[in-house]
Amino acid sequence: MESLRLLDDNVFSGIKNRILQGLARRAPGATTLRVWLHRARGVRICKRAFIGTDTIADPAKRGARLAVAAAGGR
């Protein structure tokens, strides 16, 4: 029963992440809405980041880390 519950959580989490990623790829707001959508997925992004249109932030492995920093390392 516990494994079924974990599977449901993983499926829901995966669907949520794909929806948020799809929205973030096409949403306006390179420094506002797109950043917020990726943060909602769990991507760690610095304060002054710019995320261009059609950008995919997709850690391939479970537990992988992906960090986005501001251009110029600021």
Residue type, 57: A
Q: What is the total count of domains within the chain?
A: 1
Largest alpha-carbon pair distance within the chain?
49
Give the domain extent around 48.
2-73
DSSP-derived letter for residue 43 is: -
| pLDDT in single tens digits along all 74 residues of the chain | 566 565 667 788 888 888 999 999 999 999 999 999 988 988 888 888 888 888 888 766 556 666 666 665 54
pLDDT for 45? 81
Distance separating alpha carbons of residues 68 and 1, to the nearest angstrom: 38
Is there a contact between 38 and 24 (Cβ–Cβ < 8 Å)?
Answer: yes
DSSP-derived letter for residue 29 is: -
pLDDT for 42? 83
The first and second tokens of residue 21, run together, are 């990623």
Model pTM score: 0.71
pLDDT for 27? 92
